[in-house]
Amino acid sequence: MKNSTKLLASAVAALALFFSVDANAQSAPKFGIGLNVGVPTTTGYSLAIGGDLRYQFDIDKQLSVPITAGYTNFSVKDTYGGGSFGVIPVKAGLKYFFNDTGAGAYGLAEAGAGFSTESGGSTTFVYSPAIGYAWSNGLDLAAKYEGYSNNGSIGYAGIRLAYGFKL
């Protein structure tokens, strides 16, 4: 793992821990499970699909800190040899709701590390901007891009459908 990736992952984790000890947070933390499906933006790939778990705590009613970990599988087109490979993204970020209810439309930015599941695979920097809508009943739908970069890049544009509940 490159030192810059380690440094970024450590900084994000420290920031998340700093905000998690806020005794004045407006609401209970949330836990969610999501399904991600997308179209790779790199030639040679046909589908990106995966799932994730997200722990989210509020700084206030409009700003939250999500910590997300999951699994993403990239399918390689037959004309490029076929097969697939997997990545385990671990990210933290900021989620901003555009109104003060803690639900509705939001913007999200996450960054972290992606760990290859392949033998001899490497660790990459992962980033994921998104826009979405969270309903008060726990459903969450987002349009997102997730990119991985390490001596080249791969990514996908897709959607995340999730259900979250308060802990």
Instruction: List helix spans (H) across the chain.
Output: 3-20
Phi, psi of 23 (to 5 degrees): -75, -10
pLDDT class of 71 with cuts at 50, 70, 90: very high
d(CA 133, CA 141): 6
Nearest to 70 by CA among 7, 131, 160, 166: 160
Give the range among 2-16, 35-49, 85-99 with minimum mean pLDDT: 2-16
**Confidence at residue 27, expressed as pLDDT on a 0 to 100 scale:** 72
pLDDT at 21 over 70: no
Q: Is residue 34 exposed (0-12), middle (13-18) or buried (19+ Cβ within 10 Å)?
A: buried
**Mean of per-residue pLDDT scores for the chain:** 87
Chain segment 102-150, per-residue pLDDT in tens: 889 999 999 999 999 998 888 999 999 999 999 989 999 999 999 999 7
Domain that holds residue 81: 3-166
pTM of the model: 0.81
Question: Into how many domains does the chain fold?
Answer: 1
CATH number at residue 157: 2.40.160.20
Task: Compare 167 and 145 and report the one with higher pLDDT.
Answer: 145
The more confident residue out of 150 and 68 is 68
Residue with token string 């821990």 = 17
